[in-house]
Amino acid sequence: MEDNYILMIREKRFINSGLVNKYKRVEDCVRDHLGIQAQYTNYAIISILLRTDDDITINEIYASDVIRAWVQRETVHLITRDDFLAINNLRSSKKAWVYDYYIKHRINCKDVINYISSLDEPVLSKVLSSDIKKKYGYYANQWSAALILANVNELIYSKLTKEGIVFNKFDSKVVRKATNWQSMYERYLLTYGPANVSDFSHWSGRSIKELGIVNKTDDNHENENIEIEYPIILSKFDPLMVAYRDKSWIVVDNDPKIIWKTGGQIEAVIVSREGIIATWRMKCSNTKFEVFITSLRSINLKDRMIIENRFKMIATRMNRDKFSITFEGV
């Protein structure tokens, strides 16, 4: 069992992350989180829906100004355009792994960049990827290498649409706001706090020395009397699950390897006041939304009903009219 201090840390993070008092706009949610990981598109969408008012649907995400781009550790995120440009400006695009990868496979970076620069817009991701591989070989866009290359060089970004992921060109005159890692760290604390420089280093994928930031103390007590309605659902690669070096704030009696798996996979979880009670996964088609819950400890009937109703609401907000949920190991 955990002590009250760990519970306090966890609950403050839940509150600051919008899991209790929901956001009213998609852009505000994504901006405050400095981006939401989107290796799995539908899970990223759910991360946003879990933090926004119930009248916000997937259509609002499609219509928002949020873009899809590669930021921390060259992993793909849903992020505001301004924050992508700010973070991209703080790193050197030449540090991206793509350059060494292309050298290894004897692919000319400039040729690929010139080709993508010449394309008309918009273009579906799967079409662009297929064209790049046909022109430059199988490895040219393996692991989205060409798309990352063009993105970190601020040529293209993508948007989520009903038809799929669509790539667009950046405006010819990119306007960026001046920023630094210190200001990013202080913004990070507002949403992810309580946290420290070690956590921010982990989140950003940069060493503390490289960041050159000054530690800050979280003295905000404004959320301490807010009551949290459990269980809390967190999506796969949820912002809170990737934000901290120290995992003890949430794992409690569980083995971290159940959640943080090999290959960088991070499971979706359900959390009660006592800690993680289950992991979950889904199957999502154009019409179906199927959820499979694997319990790690006993889940009472009341909590099962709360979980089912919350997932049913998510299915509705994702425009899926066929919903099912299965509890395993309860």
* Res. 202: pLDDT tops 50: yes
Q: Report the SS3 class of residue 294.
A: strand
Q: Are residues 2 and 47 in contact, defined by beta-carbon separation less than 8 angstroms?
A: no
pLDDT for the residue 264: 81
- Straight-line distance from the first to the last Cα atom of the chain, in angstroms, rounded to the nearest whole number: 20
pLDDT for the residue 16: 97
pLDDT for the residue 95: 77
Least trusted range by pLDDT, from 207-211, 242-246, 252-256: 252-256
Q: What is the pLDDT of residues 69-114, one digit of tens each?
A: 999 888 999 999 999 999 998 987 667 899 999 999 999 999 999 9
- Identity of residue 39: Q
Sign of CA dihedral 32, 33, 37, 38: negative
Q: Region 189-211: what's the mean pLDDT?
A: 94
* Res. 178: pLDDT tops 80: no
Q: Is 162 exposed, middle or buried (0-12, 13-18, 19+ CB in 10 A)?
A: exposed
* Res. 173: pLDDT tops 70: no
pLDDT band for position 220 (cuts 50, 70, 90): low
- Identity of residue 196: N
Q: At what angle do helices 181-192 and 81-90 cross, to 10 degrees?
A: 130
The pTM assigned to this predicted structure is 0.94
Q: Region 42-56: what's the mean pLDDT?
A: 98
Q: Region 185-213: what's the mean pLDDT?
A: 94
For residues 182 and 86, give the distance between their C-alpha atoms in angstroms, rounded to a whole number.
12
pLDDT band for position 1 (cuts 50, 70, 90): very low
* Res. 219: pLDDT tops 60: no
Q: Are residues 42 and 237 in contact, defined by beta-carbon separation less than 8 angstroms?
A: no
Q: What is the pLDDT of residues 120-151, one digit of tens each?
A: 889 999 999 999 999 999 999 999 999 999 99
For residues 99 and 59, give the distance between their C-alpha atoms in angstroms, rounded to a whole number.
36
Token output for 14: 């839940």
Q: Is the peptide bond before 122 cis (omega within 30 degrees of 0)?
A: yes
Longest dimension (CA), the chain: 60
